[in-house]
Amino acid sequence: MQFSLTEDQLMIREAAREFLAGRADIARLRKQMATPEAHDTELWQAVAGELGWSGLALPESVGGRGLGMVALALLLEETGRCLYGGPLLASVGFAGGMLLEAPASDARDALLTRIASGEGIAALAITDDTGRPESVGVELVAGAAGPVLRGHASFVLNGNVADHFVVVARDRRAGGHGLALVSVDRGTAGLAVQTLTAMDLTRRYARLAFDAAAPSAVLAAGDAGAAAVAQGLQVAQVALAAEQLGAMQAVFELATGYTQQRVQFGRKIGSFQAIKHRLADMMVVCEAARSAVYYAACVVD
């Protein structure tokens, strides 16, 4: 079995690293963090539209490139290295990954097409104020003209700039059971979006309040809904791990570089055996994490 990256995958990684180094440096990041939305629209249009990153991993049937989870992991590792807080993780890794686990339908494929093209940003709403994925705070109930949503969802990553929401809800309709996966468009009557500022200032979160808001579509319910949520969460975990891997690697490189500059007792501290041991331990952790992330991405594919 081949676990090394292909030539095409290496080219994707190098191209992403070069682009982000020139367009998502720390100065631009700090400027973005100071804005109310913490979102660089121009940069996102370049990432999603010009480069086509939003569709790289999604199937060709919805307008994507069909390169799969490994390609997405490569991109997310590079965005993690420079702390780029754009909605690639939220829209493709979280919402897109969850949608792909739902049964095929016209509504699902139409939403995936908008995500792949970069025309629409999607965000995943799954948890209540506890932040735990098993604590679902939204209910799908029967309304006079069809199903409606009640309750709230918190910590919706990049939800402040999302055009569409993929919402996990408890199915309380007559005959319903378990979890349902539904889509809701921004601006729907009965939906209120509140921006949240978290400890990570590179991006914002949102709290969604539903007051008899009609979903655009019920994408999965019953056993299919539970399966889609369970499997979609696993895909999301792989995507998040890939981004964190990039941040971990960047910290290791910064620490290594510092040991080559700091002088103590007339010597660079990187020459001390104790420091070398610490750096070696950090490298082992990074490489172990990389092996785990890319093996998991291969399993997803």
pLDDT in tens, 178-194: 999 999 999 999 999 99
Confidence of residue 2 (pLDDT cuts 50, 70, 90): low
Lowest mean pLDDT among 28-37, 93-102, 228-237: 28-37
Task: Name the nearest CA neighbour of 35 among 182, 168, 259, 202.
Answer: 202
Lowest mean pLDDT among 54-63, 105-114, 193-202, 248-257: 193-202
pLDDT in tens, 20-38: 999 998 899 999 999 999 9
C-beta of residue 103 within 8 angstroms of C-beta of residue 224: yes
Checking if the pLDDT of 3 tops 80, the result is: no
Confidence of residue 134 (pLDDT cuts 50, 70, 90): confident
Indicate the pTM of the whole model.
Answer: 0.94
Q: What is the DSSP string of 279-299?
A: HHHHHHHHHHHHHHHHHHHHH
pLDDT at 197: 83
3-state SS track over 232-283: HHHHHHHHHHHHHHHHHHHHHHHHHHHHCCCEECCEEHHHCHHHHHHHHHHH
pLDDT at 183: 98
